[in-house]
Structure 1
Amino acid sequence: MNTKYIDLINQTFDFPQEEFKLEEKHLQFHDIDLMALVEEYGAPLKFTYLPQISNNINKAKGWFKKALKNNKYKGKYHYCYCTKSSHFKHVLNEALKNDIHIETSSAFDIDIVENLKKEGKITDETYVISNGFKRSQYVTNIARLINNGHKNAIPIIDNYEELDLLSQEIEGKFNVGIRIASEEEPKFEFYTSRLGIGYKNIVPFYKNQIQGNKKVKLKMLHFFINTGIRDNAYYWNELHKCLKVYTSLKKICPSLDSLNIGGGFPIKNSLAFEFDYEYMVDEIINQIKLACEDEEVPVPHIFTEFGSFTVGESGGAIYEVLYQKQQNDREKWNMINSSFITTLPDTWAINKRFILLPINRWHESYERVLLGGLTCDSDDYYNSEQHMNAIYLPKYNKEKPLYLGFFNTGAYQETIGGFGGLQHCLIPSPKHILIDRDEDGNITTSLFSEQQKSEDLLKILGYEN
């Protein structure tokens, strides 16, 4: 009878996979020996595999390049990185190796952009697309960037007052985009996104505030839906409505030449994950071209703002199972040496799934367990699925430590979790390791941050000066 954990995986999934394989009974991630990482740095720990950022950027650029060629599309494609997914310098440094552009969300993002310019990582030719609701400091920072000569800065108008606020602080002529307030999925709690301006109001807004304004030029229409890019009726319906707005605007606005379709590429969250990226890109380009041909307007340049797709699959977290609690005749709780609420907040906040695999003991028998974190909070546990709260792992043995890896956690977890700050129940943030490859392809590791110490937290709380 096949009762080993490796048998369960082989019977359930195609394994090994591109990024996962077993080597000497230990899990390898992109040929990284994860047990060696644990032995060197301990657990819990987080890691970022930097080359995967460039890998995903270049995959997407390749899909769009092929789609433009296949459809004889005359516009250009520009890849923007959505910085709110991860603002860390090591992430931006890696991403910017690949001739990309930047999308910002708040005032401090502009400070990061200016820092990158000083270091020569970006230039005035780099597009800086500024989304979000713009409070005074954000407006001031965007204006400063444009006044200092960044000609490819494009603030995206999110509400009716922003254009006047920007005009007051920007000294010369400037370009803008308009964000469409898309309609939400039918099952959503409200009908229309709080972001942007409604479909029916965009052309009147252009006529009233931009068309006769010699200082402002409309260059971009911005489209994004919360569910991301999916091959379903909802996505295609919203895209078609967006294209109707674009073609209507283009007929009265010669300067409009770009369509930003936002982000939303999914990332791998299971060994069974399937998504035909190449088909989706080709069909999006085809639909845009057909809509423009039908209305006899030139096709736009295409911008995307991939955030999670850029950085998500570069990240991981490793924990040790500390103890097993048998709470009743059916429920066994494996307690990890950290907290899901603090280190993987998306698992708690929005039932986000990540790939979960043991690092070691694959050739031993398995059992059905629940995973719990260290905080005294009933929500500090991990669901393998939103409606199925059981997980299969090698059997707990207090004489044989079991290490668990959560993969593709690189987007949002640090910023949502409050990196470097207070954590729920004062559970410390784990070590964070950066993994790269040298010129010869050899793996290198470096310590980005130590695990938080008690004095770090006491200082924040005011107990120490």
Structure 2
Amino acid sequence: MNTKYSDLIDQTYYFPQEEFKVEGSELQFHGIDLMELVKEYGAPLKFTYLPKISENINKAKKWFADALEKSNYQGSYNYCYCTKSSHFEHVLNEALKNDIHIETSSAVDIDIVQSLKESGKITNDTFVICNGFKRDKYISNIANLVNNGHNNCIPIIDNYEEIDLLTEAIDDKFKIGIRIASEEEPKFEFYTSRLGIGYKNIVPFYNKQIKDNDQVELKMLHFFINTGIRDTAYYWNELLKCLKVYINLKRICPTLDSLNIGGGFPVKNSLHFEYDYKYMVEEIVNQIKIACDEAEVDVPHIFTEFGSFTVGESGGAIYEILYQKQQNDREKWNMINSSFITTLPDTWAISKKFVMLAVNRWNDEYERVLLGGLTCDSDDYYNSEQHTNAIYLPKYKKDKPLYIGFFNTGAYQDTIGGYGGLQHCLIPQPKQLLINRDENGELEISLYREQQEPEDFLKILGYK
């Protein structure tokens, strides 16, 4: 009978996959022996596999390079990393090895940019695309960057007041972009994004506030879809509407030469995940070229802002199953030694799914379970996978420890979870590991941060 956990995986997916394989009865991720990590560092723990960041960046750059060549596209391509996905220095250091640019969303982001400039990681030639709603500190930080010679800093105008605020703060001529307030999918609770300026208002806005302003040079139109770049009628319809705005604006604004396609590529969230990145890139480039050729305007330079795609697939978390609670005839709760709310907040905030697999005991029989976190909150659970409404794991045995891994968790989870600060029910932040490879391909593992201690919480709370 095929009753082992390994049998279940083989029957359900094509397995092994590029990043996953099993040695004996234990899971490996990109050639990393996960049980060896557990034996040396314990669990719970979180890790970042840095080479995956560079790998994804270079995949995207090649897809676009090939698409531009195939279409004889006369514009250039620029890869930007959205720092909000993960602000950690080790992430930025790895990403910036690959000749990329930066997209920011808040005032402190500019402080990070200044730090990167001081250390020589970026230069004045690096594009710094400044998104987000801008007020005093963000405006002043952008102005300081531009006033000190960073001419490739491009603030993206989000509302009608920002032109005046930037003009007052910046000494000389500066570049800007305009963000389109795209229409959201029908299932959203509102029709139009709160960010940016409406399609119909962009050309009048340009004529009223930019055209005769000698200090401002419009360079970029920014197009962002909240659901990301997906092969849907909704996405292609919004892209075509964006291209109409670009063409109309280009005809009256010769300095406009760039189109920023925000939204980003999806990240693998299941072993069933399928997405034709190459096709999507070719079709986007093709649609832009067709629209511009028909309108007899020059094609724009293409910018993309990939955050989750850049860093998401580099992250993972490992937990130990502490105990199993039988709550009724059908529900078995496997309790992890951490909290989903604090370490993987998107699992409860937006019901996001990650790739989840047992780390050990693949040759044991399996059972259907629910996963519960340590907080006293009923929302601290994980109850299904992306492809099915159930979770199956090797059977719980008190004398045989079971470890589980969540993968592709590298984007947003630490900042949304309040890394380094207070956690719900004061559940400590796990250890953090950085994993790299040397020039010979050998693994290099270092401890980035120890697990939070009670003293850390007491100090924040004012008891010490």
- TM exceeds 0.5? yes
On the 8 A contact 1:370/1:389 being kept in 2, the answer is no
| Larger CA deviation: 20-29 vs 353-362 | 20-29
1:41 counterpart residue number: 41
Q: Does 1:279 align with 2:279?
A: yes
Deviation per residue, 1:185-210 (Å, 9 max, x gap):
01110100000000000000000000
1:206 counterpart residue number: 206
Deviation per residue, 1:136-174 (Å, 9 max, x gap):
100000000000000100000000000000000000000
2:376 counterpart residue number: 376
Tell me how far apart the structure 2 counterparts of residues 123 and 383 of structure 1 sit (CA, whole Å): 47
Shift of 1:383: 2.9
1:425 counterpart residue number: 425
On the 8 A contact 1:307/1:411 being kept in 2, the answer is yes
1:230 counterpart residue number: 230
On the 8 A contact 1:360/1:403 being kept in 2, the answer is yes
2:265 counterpart residue number: 265
On the 8 A contact 1:262/1:306 being kept in 2, the answer is yes
Deviation per residue, 1:284-306 (Å, 9 max, x gap):
00000000011110000000000
Shift of 1:390: 2.4
1:52 counterpart residue number: 52
On the 8 A contact 2:270/2:387 being kept in 1, the answer is no
1:410 counterpart residue number: 410
| Larger CA deviation: 239-248 vs 388-397 | 388-397
Counterpart secondary structure, 2:406: strand
1:398 counterpart residue number: 398
Q: Does 1:160 align with 2:168?
A: no
1:144 counterpart residue number: 144
Shift of 1:389: 4.7
Structure 1 unmatched ranges of 5 or more: none
On the 8 A contact 1:382/1:389 being kept in 2, the answer is no
Tell me how far apart the structure 1 counterparts of residues 154 and 354 of structure 2 sit (CA, whole Å): 34
Q: Does 1:253 align with 2:260?
A: no
Counterpart secondary structure, 1:46: strand
1:347 counterpart residue number: 347
1:185 counterpart residue number: 185
Q: Does 1:74 align with 2:74?
A: yes
Number of residues paired by the alignment?
A: 464
Deviation per residue, 1:209-232 (Å, 9 max, x gap):
000111100000000111100101
Deviation per residue, 1:379-404 (Å, 9 max, x gap):
00013247965200000000000000
2:114 counterpart residue number: 114
On the 8 A contact 1:351/1:383 being kept in 2, the answer is no
Tell me how far apart the structure 1 counterparts of residues 131 and 213 of structure 2 sit (CA, whole Å): 22
Tell me how far apart the structure 2 counterparts of residues 359 and 459 of structure 1 sit (CA, whole Å): 35
TM (norm. structure 1) is: 0.99
Structure 2 unmatched ranges of 5 or more: none
| Larger CA deviation: 266-275 vs 23-32 | 23-32
Report the AA paired with residue 416 of structure 1: I
Tell me how far apart the structure 2 counterparts of residues 341 and 97 of structure 1 sit (CA, whole Å): 33
Counterpart secondary structure, 2:39: helix
Deviation per residue, 1:259-288 (Å, 9 max, x gap):
000132000000000000000000000000
2:88 counterpart residue number: 88
Counterpart secondary structure, 2:458: helix
Shift of 1:25: 1.8
Tell me how far apart the structure 1 counterparts of residues 45 and 335 of structure 2 sit (CA, whole Å): 16
Report the AA paired with residue 345 of structure 2: P
Deviation per residue, 1:393-421 (Å, 9 max, x gap):
00000000000000000000000000000
2:450 counterpart residue number: 450
1:17 counterpart residue number: 17
Deviation per residue, 1:33-80 (Å, 9 max, x gap):
000000010000000000000000000001000000011100000000
C-alpha change, 1:246 and 1:235, in structure 2 (3 Å) is same
Tell me how far apart the structure 1 counterparts of residues 49 and 125 of structure 2 sit (CA, whole Å): 28
Tell me how far apart the structure 2 counterparts of residues 24 and 15 of structure 1 sit (CA, whole Å): 15
Q: Does 1:133 align with 2:133?
A: yes
Tell me how far apart the structure 1 counterparts of residues 15 and 388 of structure 2 sit (CA, whole Å): 23
1:196 counterpart residue number: 196
On the 8 A contact 2:272/2:387 being kept in 1, the answer is no
Q: Does 1:358 align with 2:375?
A: no
Counterpart secondary structure, 1:205: helix
On the 8 A contact 2:44/2:338 being kept in 1, the answer is yes
Shift of 1:121: 0.2
Deviation per residue, 1:308-343 (Å, 9 max, x gap):
000000000000000000000000000000000000
Tell me how far apart the structure 1 counterparts of residues 19 and 387 of structure 2 sit (CA, whole Å): 27
On the 8 A contact 1:347/1:383 being kept in 2, the answer is no
Counterpart secondary structure, 2:159: coil
1:104 counterpart residue number: 104
Tell me how far apart the structure 2 counterparts of residues 389 and 12 of structure 1 sit (CA, whole Å): 14
On the 8 A contact 2:247/2:295 being kept in 1, the answer is yes
Report the AA paired with residue 233 of structure 1: A
Shift of 1:24: 2.7
Report the AA paired with residue 406 of structure 2: F
Tell me how far apart the structure 1 counterparts of residues 334 and 462 of structure 2 sit (CA, whole Å): 35
Tell me how far apart the structure 2 counterparts of residues 387 and 109 of structure 1 sit (CA, whole Å): 36
Report the AA paired with residue 301 of structure 1: H
Tell me how far apart the structure 2 counterparts of residues 309 and 263 of structure 1 sit (CA, whole Å): 10
Deviation per residue, 1:441-465 (Å, 9 max, x gap):
100100000000000000000000x
Tell me how far apart the structure 2 counterparts of residues 428 and 187 of structure 1 sit (CA, whole Å): 37
**Identical aligned pairs, as a percentage?**
78
Tell me how far apart the structure 2 counterparts of residues 225 and 262 of structure 1 sit (CA, whole Å): 6
Q: Once superposed, what is the RMSD of the aligned Cα atoms?
A: 0.8
On the 8 A contact 2:269/2:386 being kept in 1, the answer is no
Tell me how far apart the structure 2 counterparts of residues 383 and 329 of structure 1 sit (CA, whole Å): 17
Report the AA paired with residue 92 of structure 1: L
Counterpart secondary structure, 2:299: coil
1:321 counterpart residue number: 321
Report the AA paired with residue 164 of structure 1: D
Q: Does 1:175 align with 2:172?
A: no
Shift of 1:439: 1.1
Tell me how far apart the structure 1 counterparts of residues 102 and 409 of structure 2 sit (CA, whole Å): 21
